[in-house]
Amino acid sequence: MKKIFKYIIAASGILFTSCSNELIAPFTPGSLTEETAITQSSDLQKLINSTYNILSNRSEFVFSSVFTDEVGIGYANGGQGISSEYIFLVIPSSELSSNIWVNTYFALARANRVIKYADTVVPINPTDAELISRLKAEALTVRAYGHLKILSYFSPNLKDDNALAGILANRVFEPEEKENPRVKNGEFYAQIHNDLDAALAIYNSLSNYTANNNFANKNFAKGLKARAYAYKEDYINAEKWADDVINNSGVTLANPADYRKVFFTDNEPANKEVIFRLKRTVQQNAQGTNLHNGWCSVAPNLNGSPLYEVGRSLFNILDQNPGDVRRNVIVAPSSIIDPNYATSADYRNTDKLIIQKHGGTETGSVTAAVTATNGFNNDFKIMRISEMYLIKAEARAEAGDLVGVGLALKSVLDARFGVTQVPPVYANATAAWAGILKERRLELAYEGHRFIDIKRLATKANVTINRDPADYSSSSSNYPAANPANLPNNSYKFALPIPQNELNANPNIVQNTGY
């Protein structure tokens, strides 16, 4: 981390290049400092925009799906993941897990500068003063989001205040700082909630403020409090904040038609489903960074060179309810479905289940997402209103209210089927947790949640990672190490390794057990 922060501070090009050429126009060697570069609200705006851009990294989404049970190996796979994440191999030099750490801290470094310099920029009028305050609130919200991400992936026990999380990045680090230790979860949670409380105080002070899901916003701050409390298993507070978002955000669950728009074209009606998204533009379109290209080389259809496909166990659940819009959103209509897949002599080529949740199509094979100049570039959905209902279901399970669990889940099911559903009924708490985990699996697939959900809830639900044997022991998809038996719920691998680059640069860092 010392190396990361020192590099950001020392190399002004790294700090400012993606913000704007305007910021570096007067540069001469030795003359430009942060104090002289960040002097007006437009500078802060460019810096927070750059922060958002850094956060739109697909590593989290791809890692979570490949390491767990959301994918099987695609028929066009050229070796991606087969010798690493898919067989549960993760080491300090692993690219995807390292990216989660490095990119999050790069974003935190920029958010910290927005927070710091928002207090020194002199507004030119009251409107400008409100803009500066809003940008600071956005940066505080993003800082809380970044810290919660680091904690969730790198702490071995999310509910233990004494377990180690990551490096607390709550200020601008100076070049002369030599060592930055990991701190405990308790300090992380305290910082997360302090930042969110400070952000909410600012949002509430702004006149005529309206939450915009293209930016960190008031609803996202409240939702992050609900998420953080759920991770901590403080379900009284988790439910309180989830209810606040459900009842007061104005964001409602999408019906089937709008749900398709959320993931296929990013043009759903206002205040439908999405609480916060990392907005991507067509000008940012590139195979190396597009979200859909995390699972396919070209496009999310049969001929789009899929590297990974829908995991057979996930498909089998989806296929039980064809009226559930998530079945159509997740599985491309161009897929080839082999009813005899379990005995197929060439499983990878007779059963082709194409992932199309990001940039897909309702019918046919012409998708919105393609890899071409100015082609469609999916937004990253970081939080949706359905997560709040799922957190509420967790809180009801923790309270022993099995009927309440069913009612919370029913709200999501009614929206996804488009007609009123009978609420799920559970015989005991274990069954309720399993039901919650199943609904989270269906609802949040390919959105970066599954790894953390297994880590938090699998033991409560008495389940494990669930891959169909065809995805690891069939004739043409034979990867014995990918058997879920090799990753029990108590595996040390549910705390990712501190990256090797961090270990090399920071002598005071402590590696997680097992690596």
What confidence score (pLDDT) does residue 282 get?
86
| pTM, entire model | 0.93
334 φψ region: left (φ > 0), alpha (ψ -120 to 50), beta (else): alpha
pLDDT at 252 over 70: yes
Question: What confidence tier does 31 reach under pLDDT thresholds 50, 70, 90?
Answer: very low
Q: Which of 383, 395, 449, 404 is closest to 237 using CA atoms?
A: 395
The reported pLDDT for the residue numbered 283 is: 85
Flag whether pLDDT at 128 surpasses 90.
yes
> Who's near 419: CB < 8 A, 6+ residues apart?
323
Q: Is the pLDDT of residue 239 over 80?
A: yes
Percent of the chain with pLDDT over 70: 93
Distance CA 202, CA 140 (A): 10
> Quick check: 228 and 236 in contact, CB under 8 A?
no
Q: Name the band, by pLDDT with cuts 50, 70 and 90, for residue 293.
A: very high
Question: How far is residue 383 from each of residues 11, 218, 493, measured CA to CA in Å?
Answer: 33, 12, 25
Q: Are 226 and 153 in contact (CB under 8 A)?
A: no
What share of the chain in percent tops pLDDT 90?
A: 89
Q: Provide, for the chain, the percentages of residues in helix, strand and coil under a 3-state DSSP scheme, each rounded to the nearest 5.
A: 50, 5, 45
Looking at residue 219, its pLDDT comes to 98
Torsion of CA 359, 141, 183, 88, to 10 degrees: -10
For all residues of the chain together, what is the average pLDDT? 93
d(CA 462, CA 457): 9
State residue 4's pLDDT score.
Answer: 38
The pLDDT, as a whole number, for residue 32 is 54
Q: Would you place residue 14 in the very low, low, confident or very high pLDDT band (cuts 50, 70, 90)?
A: very low
3-state secondary structure of 278: strand
DSSP per-residue codes, 353-392? --B-TTT--SSSS--SB-SSTT-B---EEEEEHHHHHHHH
What average pLDDT does the segment 223-234 reach?
Answer: 98
**pLDDT reading at 455 higher than 80:** yes
Region of 446 please: left (phi>0), alpha (psi -120 to 50) or beta: left
